[in-house]
């Protein structure tokens, strides 16, 4: 029987942020194809000594799927190691369709997204009661166009949290879209480059007006998450609306509300 391909999310950069299941699959893998343009080779450190490890950064989609199919003919566990989560801005379905056609079984192991890692690095929350309860994961149109109705200006009009991927080189376009959507010039903007990468992480805080200049000064030109959110800086606000779950005056199925004194 042919082997099985596991699409494993390597997480945002820190090798220790891979899931336990992902680590265990690497430890038993006979072959690993990792996205070397975004995933540090250190992430393959859990692989056994005799594992065949290949960097995919110089390969086409057809070459990658052919390699995975070939390795399935010689070993039981084949891992495609991708940055972040395999279901976000990856070629997951493009790669799995040829596997299915070839009769190769495959499964996905989720990973920590750079959006979550960026918020964690900056000690920020993406949602707050009575501020925003919605997070939009998106990008700016570049060589890959955006579908109708998904332009950043339209999404930004909701005034919720925006986690903007793959757009740091188009930061001017991000600024224009947010301004057109009615965001104030002093709206806080967070940029985190290489979130969680040991020794490489950079955190840039600014406003809609000055974030581009700050990023230019720090030479931020790749692998950066842009977060625009009304929740940014909430740790320093004088007042916050309380979460109902932990409010002593709120009853839920695990706790009765405290009596008013």
Query: How does pLDDT run across 70-84, given as a tens digit for each residue?
Result: 999 999 999 999 999
**Main-chain phi, psi angles of 90, to 5 degrees:** -120, 175
List the alpha helices (DSSP H) in 5-107.
20-28, 61-72, 92-101
| pTM reported for the whole predicted model | 0.92
Name residue 252's beta-bridge partners: 255
Please, what is the average pLDDT of the chain?
Answer: 94
In a domain, 192, yes or no: yes
In a domain, 154, yes or no: yes
- The CATH number of whichever domain residue 164 belongs to comes to 3.30.950.10
**Angle subtended at Cα 88 by Cα 145 and Cα 73, rounded to the nearest 5 degrees:** 110
Q: Is 178 found in the same domain as 69?
A: no
Q: Is 105 found in the same domain as 36?
A: yes
pLDDT digits (tens, 9 = 90+) for 95-115: 999 999 999 999 999 999 999
What mean pLDDT comes out for the span 46-68? Answer: 97
**pLDDT given at position 254:** 73
**pLDDT given at position 182:** 98
In a domain, 36, yes or no: yes
143 CB-near residues (< 8 Å, 6+ apart): none
Tokens of 149: 């109705």
182 CB-near residues (< 8 Å, 6+ apart): 157, 159
Asked if 157 and 128 touch (Cβ cutoff 8 Å), the reply is no
Tokens of 38: 């975004």
Q: Is 9 found in the same domain as 118?
A: no
Give the distance, in angstroms, between the CA of residue 136 and the centroid of all CA atoms in the same chain. 12
**pLDDT given at position 261:** 47
In a domain, 164, yes or no: yes
In a domain, 100, yes or no: yes
Q: Is 169 found in the same domain as 90?
A: no
215 CB-near residues (< 8 Å, 6+ apart): 168, 171, 191, 204, 206, 224
**pLDDT given at position 260:** 60
**pLDDT given at position 198:** 92
Asked if 229 and 188 touch (Cβ cutoff 8 Å), the reply is yes
pLDDT digits (tens, 9 = 90+) for 148-186: 999 999 999 999 999 999 999 999 999 999 999 999 999
d(CA 2, CA 235) in angstroms, rounded, equals: 53
Q: Is 169 found in the same domain as 129?
A: yes
**pLDDT given at position 247:** 72
Q: Using alpha carbons only, how large is the chain's radius of gyration in Å?
A: 21
Percent of the chain's residues with pLDDT above 70: 98
Q: Is 178 found in the same domain as 155?
A: yes
What domain range includes position 71?
4-109
Pairing type for strands 31-34 and 52-55 reads parallel
**pLDDT given at position 252:** 73
Domains in the chain: how many in total?
2
CA max distance for the chain: 72
d(CA 181, CA 175) in angstroms, rounded, equals: 10
d(CA 52, CA 42) in angstroms, rounded, equals: 15
The answer on pLDDT for 125 being more than 60 is: yes
The answer on pLDDT for 40 being more than 90 is: no
Tokens of 87: 């279901």
Q: Is 210 found in the same domain as 120?
A: yes
Q: Is 121 found in the same domain as 231?
A: yes
In a domain, 246, yes or no: no
Q: Is 228 found in the same domain as 195?
A: yes
């Amino acid at each position: 029987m042919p082997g099985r391909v596991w699409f494993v999310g390597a997480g945002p950069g820190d090798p220790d942020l891979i899931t336990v299941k992902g680590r265990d699959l690497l430890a038993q893998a006979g072959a690993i194809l990792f996205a070397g343009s975004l995933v540090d080779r250190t992430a393959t450190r859990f692989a056994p000594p005799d594992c065949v490890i290949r960097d995919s950064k110089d390969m086409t989609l057809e070459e990658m799927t052919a390699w995975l199919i070939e390795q399935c003919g010689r070993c039981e566990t084949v891992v495609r190691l991708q940055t972040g989560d395999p279901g976000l801005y990856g070629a997951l379905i493009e790669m799995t369709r040829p596997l299915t056609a070839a009769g190769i079984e495959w499964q996905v192991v989720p990973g920590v997204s750079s959006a979550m890692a960026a918020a964690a690095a900056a000690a920020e929350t993406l949602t707050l009661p009575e501020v925003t309860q919605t997070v939009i994961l998106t990008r700016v149109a570049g060589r890959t166009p955006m579908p109708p109705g998904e332009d950043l200006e339209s999404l930004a009009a909701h005034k919720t949290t925006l986690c903007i991927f793959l757009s740091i080189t188009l930061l001017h376009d991000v600024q224009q879209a947010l301004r057109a959507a009615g965001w104030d010039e002093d709206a806080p903007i967070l940029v985190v480059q290489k979130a969680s990468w040991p020794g490489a992480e950079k955190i840039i805080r600014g406003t809609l007006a000055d974030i581009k200049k700050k990023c230019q000064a720090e030479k931020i030109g790749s692998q950066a998450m842009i977060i625009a959110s009304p929740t940014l800086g909430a740790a320093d606000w004088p007042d916050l609306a309380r979460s109902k779950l932990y409010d002593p005056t709120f009853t839920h199925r695990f706790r009765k509300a405290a009596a008013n004194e």
